Amino acid sequence: MCSGRVDLKHVNRAFAKGIDGVFIIGCRLNECNYITHGNYRALNMVLLFKKIMERIGLNPERLMIDFMSGSEGALFVEVVNDFVKRVKDFGPLGKGEGIDQDELKAKLEEVRKLIPYIKIVEKEKLAARLDNREEHDKLFTSDEIERLFSEVVSYYIDPGKCQACMSCARRCPVEAIISAKNQIHVIDQEKCIKCGSCFEACPPRFGAVTKIINEPVPPPVPEGERAIVRKKKEKEKE
């Protein structure tokens, strides 16, 4: 399997399950077997997650990536044994950093929810293929990671403007929009990956989708109160 297929969510899931260290090995850079150079993406992903680990208080050295060919068995044994020894010296995940297990679980859950958003924001950097390793090491900064956590974007459908046109629901890549004919649409915030597709799809004449930064999302309209009463029908009732 190409190392480029290893995702942020895979690494986060490993730590969430209590794994003390994660070691990823890929083909040597510029020697890709699949001509996709996915190993560069793997490198960038690891560098990004290391910064995330620093942000939540975990030792970033618990995550490692190295590159070698299939013929370098002796080197493989050497680097793996060295990594295992270092991880043992760190102690159990969380305990070695002095983090309570419940607190650690909450932090990793926060990361899990943000991963789709982080992948969208950092899409270009994750795909970067730079001239040398030093340039890759500078791709992500601590300030940048802090902004990812503190300036999270959310989207909300204004019930007073929604016309149930279904445009946003059709564009949503993860089916996070609860929609029905003649009913106010609602974004399921748990499913939403904050890609902004709904914001772009909503017709300007309606402007029903609102972009929210650093503020709580208003509660959704109760399910039994989502019916849209058209103005024409209102006049007929009068």
CA distances from residue 232 to 88, 150, 228 in whole angstroms, order as listed: 71, 44, 12
Counts of helices then strands in the chain (DSSP H, E): 10, 6
* Dist. CA 74–CA 24, nearest whole Å: 17
Strands (DSSP E) contained in 188-235 are 209-213
The SS3 of residue 58 is coil
* Dist. CA 181–CA 109, nearest whole Å: 35
Tell me the pLDDT band of 50, cut-offs 50, 70 and 90: very high
Tell me the pLDDT band of 41, cut-offs 50, 70 and 90: very high
The mean per-residue pLDDT over the stretch 193-217 comes to 93
How confident is the model at residue 132, as a pLDDT?
A: 87
pLDDT, tens digit, for every residue of 155-176?
Answer: 999 999 999 999 999 999 999 9
pLDDT, tens digit, for every residue of 65-106?
Answer: 999 988 889 999 999 999 999 999 999 999 999 999 999 999
Q: Please name each of the domains of the chain with its CATH number.
A: 3-150 (no CATH), 153-227 (3.30.70.20)
* Dist. CA 83–CA 200, nearest whole Å: 46
Angle ∠(218,221,227) on CA atoms, nearest 5: 150
